[in-house]
A and B are shown apart, each in its own frame.
Chain A
Amino acid sequence: MGAIDRLGVGIGWRAEIDLTVERLPDVDFVEVVAENLHVEHLPESILLLRERGVPVLPHAVSLSLGSADPVDAHRVEHLGSVAEALGAPLVSDHVCFVRAGGLDSGHLMPVPRTRDALDVLVANVRTAQANLPVPLALENIAALLEWPDGELTEGQFLADLVERTDCFLLIDVANLHANARNLGTDPNRFLDEIPLERLAYVHVAGGVENDGVYHDTHAHAVLPEVLDLLGELRSRVDPPGVLLERDDNYPSDTELAGEMAAIRAVLAGRG
């Protein structure tokens, strides 16, 4: 499988900031939450961006590929049909589970870093890949807790996953910061252990620290520590793309443009 074409610097498209995304300068690509789209009724703003030639990448949050439950064929099919409707070069979801025992957590939950859990994840990812029209990239999540009896570091776990499924990686440096802050993950070791040649793109997002816990809110400004981690990553590899995620408490266009400029500065070594 080949490498990912250069994507550049982008921003997460959300209905609330559709006009902002359209008029921000230098948006090289956008990402859409696949579950929010209906192939028959794509938002006009998305169609406009496609007409301009801006790549639109579907990002899924509900495949729950780390679940012990079998893969939900309908969700995979929907993601694939969104990718085809948008002419997307790849799709993504997370290394996580959201459903178990008939319950839905409502948020991305970490999987145990055991051989058992890795075997299940690999089988699920292969099933999804076999039913998707384009390559799949998988993202590291921000976890608030850690399973006991982990047999692998997060970096080793992702490296094995890539090795066995040939998936791409979507590395979220804000999540990496969250895990370093909350769980003591060593971000440099993480970056050393993952196969950076399989990097599809990078997520950057804001968050806030409350009572000693960093929350990956996507509703606050990007912290300097997160940009530092982007710099660490950049010192190892030139990522095909970097995307800013903002999901709530939307700031002015100027502020978002400023965050994208800060990302560009880090990528150019001026961070």
Chain B
Amino acid sequence: MTDGARERLARAQAELLTALLAGGPSPGGFDERLLRVEARSLLAKRRGIVAMLAPEAVDALADRFRPLFDEYALAHPRVAGSRAREDAAAFTAWARDRGALPPVKPKRWWRRTAS
């Protein structure tokens, strides 16, 4: 195999994932409708996994969960090697930062935790 084959494939695959996950330009030659179907499907899968891992955020955000998650996801595509739990934690932190979720109350050292 030539290094050229690997390089050409790397470019093409990166271009496709950037388009599907991060709102990058559509790579040439693909069916635009199918690109949209695929992008939606990948987003729905990711949203479903985060919803399963962060049910309290889903409850708190209610109807706002989906649009907020979709905005977060487009701006923060999953990085290779990252874990789903990290994705869920990053989303809740992002939602907190923009005031959509209440801030985490710092634990007071004198509070009795066992009640």
Contacts and interface: CB of A to CB of B under 8 A. Distances in A.
B113 interface: no
Contact of A103 (B4, B18, B38, B41): B18
B9 A107 contact: no
Interface residues of B, number: 38
Nearest to A69: B10
A148 B35 CA distance: 12
A148 B29 contact: yes
Interface in B7-27: 7-10, 12-18, 20-22
Most A-side CB within 10 Å, residue of B2, B16, B30:
B16
Contacts of B46: 106
Interface in A99-120: 99-107, 109, 111-112, 115-117, 119-120
A258 to B, nearest CB: 26
Contact of B21 (A68, A105, A117, A122): A105
Contacts of A104: 77-82
Most B-side CB within 10 Å, residue of A97, A105, A123:
A105
Contacts of B35: 145
B10 A101 contact: yes
Contact of B13 (A100, A115, A144, A182): A100
Interface residues on A, range: 20 to 34
A111 B10 CA distance: 11
| Chain B, interface SS category | helix
Interface string A128-147: 00000000000000001111
A163 B28 CA distance: 31
A68 B10 contact: yes
A146 B10 CA distance: 17
Contacts of B15: 101
Given A99-B80, A146-B30, 10 more contacts: A68-B10, A100-B17, A103-B80, A104-B78, A109-B13, A144-B34, A144-B41, A145-B37, A147-B12, A215-B41
Interface of A: 67-69, 97, 99-107, 109, 111-112, 115-117, 119-120, 122-123, 144-149, 182, 213, 215
9 contacts: A67-B13, A68-B10, A69-B10, A102-B14, A107-B42, A112-B12, A116-B8, A120-B6, A146-B30
